[in-house]
Amino acid sequence: MGEAWIIDAVRSPRGGGKAGVGSLSHIHPQRVLAQVLNALQEHAGFDPADVEDVIMGNNSGVGDHSMDIARMATLDAGWPITVPGVTLHRFCGSGQQALNVAAMSVMSGQQDLVVAGGVESMSRPAPLSVDGFTANNAHLYEQYPLVPQGISADLIATIEGFTREDCDRLAVESQRRAAEAVDAGRFKRSVVPIYNDDGSLALDHDEHPRPGTTLESLAGLNPSFAKMGVMVPPNDTRSYDEICLSVYPEVKAVNHVHHAGNSSGVVDGASALLVASPEYAKAHGLKPRARIVQTATAGSEPVIMLTAPAPATQLVLRKAGMSKDNIDLFEVNEAFASVVLKWQKEMDVDLDRVNVNGGAMALGHPIGATGGMLIGTALDELERRNLSTALITMCTGGGMGTATIIERV
């Protein structure tokens, strides 16, 4: 099988995800992604006419994110009409899955030049026309009564014995690392500015970090999902907490430890990576930054939902013939603090090698775009430290995890 090279990776800043407040919230997500695509072209110096597909991840898929946003953004960017686009949905792992699919296509020899990434404007939520993850499917709900992700995160903490202070300590450290990275300019390599339609600057830096966050400041935040836990979903007689207890009878009560400070931030943004075959890159003078060593996706129990990063990590390592000791840096998406703590407990990896520049609790999680952002962040840090290999993994809705190993070339 052939290789797939990452030529370059760029992302937008993460804008605050509140309508009318976040600096990207007034810009259509197609426009945000179009600007990121053009920035990738400027950085890498490729001919857009050669791109055989633009594969983008998006979680929403409705409203302003609908109608195959990958294709629409490609047209909005002014790229040739011959360049196709396709939008993938794997919940939070959508952007990473887009990169993984691009890698598979190039490694198999089916394509030579693909752009992958994702986009999400969380300031533009669209009302769901379905009842939760099971989408009004009563038969599926009887088998797997899925609950909101925040409840699942609290369930993980309860079963694993993670206290609120455990979660808050991780969140404080994420903020500290992110603040240090921002001050040192570590994100400047990949972050590209986003402009308003009149040409004025909209945003050139991440808006979500809260430097100076402390355990004391987080202690004043109320649990985000305690009230939700006692809510009864439609077509059920049990509360969300009671559903968890019915699936996990060893649990006597769900301990609600997550809040806005130790959960991922709600933000807007887009990411894009250029993936090429070695043959195309050499023929067109494109210098690779890394190769994609292996990809994997894993499933896990869907009610607790967010525990698949460790199985995905184990699977991708096994498929690559590697061990955790072969990995220099890890990026584990900070959807919730308990997700990272659960992964660390199962993998027994020193957190000094994990999310070294902070994660989504500090920087935010623009759902469909995050996977591409994490891969770019890992690549930038490998280069800064003159290291070789990184593993990126994420939890997703429905009880799945995505994983990618990259290696500098």
Catalytic site residue from 28, 208, 258, 365: 365
Show contacts of 125-132: CB within 8 Å, 24+ apart.
125/60, 126/60, 126/62, 126/63, 126/64, 126/65, 131/233, 131/234, 131/235, 132/233
CA 90, 173, 202, 78: dihedral to nearest 10 degrees?
-30
Q: Which residues make beta-bridge pairs with 116?
A: 55, 273
Place of tokens 């009878």: 249
| Catalytic (active site) residue 365 | yes
Residue 14 has φ and ψ, to the nearest 5°, of -90, 115
Element housing 111 (H / E) = none
Element housing 273 (H / E) = strand 267-276
Nearest to 271 by CA among 103, 57, 22, 108: 57
Q: CB neighbours of 162 closer than 8 A, spacing ≥ 6?
A: 156, 257, 337, 338, 341, 342
Query: How far, in Å, CA of 50 to CA of 363, rounded?
Result: 34
| Catalytic (active site) residue 92 | yes
Q: State the Rg of the chain over Cα.
A: 20
Query: How far, in Å, CA of 31 to CA of 39, rounded?
Result: 12
Buried residues in 74-100 as b, exposed as e (16+ CB within 10 A): bebbebeeebebebbbbbbbbbbbbbb
Catalytic site residue from 244, 256, 258, 395: 395
Q: How many residues are there in the chain?
A: 409
Q: Which two tokens stand for residue 26?
A: 């007034």
Catalytic site residue from 65, 92, 208, 256: 92
| Catalytic (active site) residue 244 | no
Tell me the longest C-alpha to C-alpha distance in the chain.
Answer: 63
| CA angle, residues 132, 135, 136, in degrees to nearest 5 | 100
Q: Hey, which residues are catalytic here?
A: 92, 365, 395
